[in-house]
Amino acid sequence: MTKQERATFVINTLKDYYPEIPIPLDHKDPYTLLIAVLLSAQCTDVRVNQITPILFAKADNPYDMVKLSVEEIKEIIKPCGLSPMKSKGIYGLSKILIEEHNGAVPQSFDALERLPAVGHKTASVVMSQAFGVPAFPVDTHIHRLMYRWNLSNGKSVQQTEKDAKAIFPRELWNDLHLQIIWYGREYSPARGWNLEKDIITKTIGRKSVLNEYLKKTSRSV
């Protein structure tokens, strides 16, 4: 298969698997999505979805958030990890949203990436899921699968994003990045991977990845 044929196979298979695409992080508007995505760095979405209702019960908008101290925010979000950095980021970005954006989340990559603790991936998720702007946020699942599927060389998340945008149609980016995340979690995880259940990698996988998998499984038999 050519690279384009592999990409088409991925698109068609994921469409079959995920005709309806759930959003992993619970939120009700761009602000709560922004906070949830920020909290998800090095933390599972399940854990974030357990913590955000507690935080949002106290503050689900920037005006209420700045009424809390950094320390209070830190205590609430501690189970998500990196709480010193994340709490300062949440407080700081809320203050900037009030002072510079009338309390609203800006609808541009540049403005989002200038906010404290907001990197390119977080900005991409917000632009994609809150505002419907085509973006391709790359998380660990997408990075892993783009390499396994021989659609990117796996050298960096920046390169993976560039390769994904080059090979997949722009109008599908917002759906595909979520579909690949769900597929990676369910069928092609980093640990406990069963190739028999992973139809995409089994069909179009990088030869070196498949050979390594077969070597490992034959050693463990």
Surface-to-core class of residue 160, CB atoms within 10 Å of its CB (0-12 exposed, 13-18 middle, 19+ buried): buried
| pLDDT at position 137 over 70 | yes
At 34 the pLDDT is 98
pLDDT for the residue numbered 220: 64
Mean pLDDT over 27-54 rounds to 97
Q: What residues act catalytically?
A: 121, 139
19 Cβ contact partners less than 8 Å away, ≥ 6 residues apart:
none
Retrieve residue 173's tokens.
């980016």
d(CA 186, CA 125): 21
DSSP string, 24-54: SS--SSHHHHHHHHHHTTTS-HHHHHHHHHH
Q: Give the helix/strand (H/E) hosting 7.
A: helix 3-17
Residues 153-203 pLDDT 10s? 989 999 999 999 999 999 999 999 999 999 999 999 999 999 999 999 999
Confidence band for 218, pLDDT divided at 50, 70 and 90? confident
- Predicted confidence (pLDDT) per residue in 66-116, tens digit: 999 999 999 999 999 999 999 999 999 999 999 999 999 999 999 999 999
Report the alpha-carbon distance of residue 145 to residue 181 in Å, rounded. 9
| pLDDT tens digits, one per residue of 8-37 | 999 999 999 999 999 999 999 999 999 999
Q: Tokens at residue 29, please?
A: 């508007």
- Supply the pTM of this predicted model: 0.93
pLDDT beyond 70 at 221: no
Which is nearest to 40 in space by CA: 176, 141, 131? 141
- Give me the mean pLDDT over the 32-59 stretch: 97
Distances (CA, A) of 112 to 96, 99, 101, 206: 11, 14, 11, 36
* Distance between CA atoms of residues 169 and 177, nearest Å: 12
Angstrom CA distances, 81 to 9, 70, 95, 101, 191, stand at: 37, 15, 22, 28, 22
Whether pLDDT at 219 is above 90: no
